[in-house]
Amino acid sequence: MWDVAREGPVVIATYVHPPMNYYTDAALEQLDGLIDTWLDDDAAVVVLTGGAEGRFITHFDVDEILRNQEKGDSIFEAPKRSRRAQALTRRR
C-alpha cells in the first residue's frame, strides 16, 4: 500500500489504497516496517503523501473495523489503532 521512492537522503512514501485511501491494519504494519528500514538506512527526511486524487488518508477502513469486531475485537481497539498511527508518524 506504500509506494516508496528515494532521492539521496530523502524518502517519499506514497499511500495508495483506492478509491478513498482508507487506512488499514496492514498499512500500519507496512509503515512500521518501512520506518525501521529508513532508520537503518539513515534517511534524513521522510515525506508521507497520498496517491488517491486529492486525498492523503481519509480515515480508518470502517468495514475492516466492523469485521474485526465480529471476530472478537473489542470496541476499544479502534482508539488503539488511532494512537498507533499517531505514534508511527512521530517515530524518529
Convert the pLDDT of each residue in 8-50 to its tens digit: 999 999 999 988 899 999 999 999 999 999 988 889 999 999 9
CATH number for domain 2-90, candidates 3.90.226.10, 4.10.320.10, 3.40.50.1980, 3.40.250.10: 3.90.226.10
Alpha carbon of residue 33 to chain centroid = 10
pLDDT in tens, 54-91: 888 888 898 888 887 777 666 677 778 788 888 988 88
Nearest C-alpha neighbor of 16 from the set 36, 35, 26: 26
The sheet that has 2-7: what strands, in order across it?
Answer: 2-7, 10-15, 45-50
**Distance from C-alpha of 92 to C-alpha of 87, rounded to nearest angstrom:** 10
What the block records as the C-alpha cell of 75 is 470496541
Instruction: Say what the pLDDT of residue 32 is.
Output: 94
- Decide the pairing of beta strands 2-7 and 10-15: antiparallel
Confidence at residue 73, expressed as pLDDT on a 0 to 100 scale? 64
pTM: 0.82
* Domain spans, the chain: 2-90
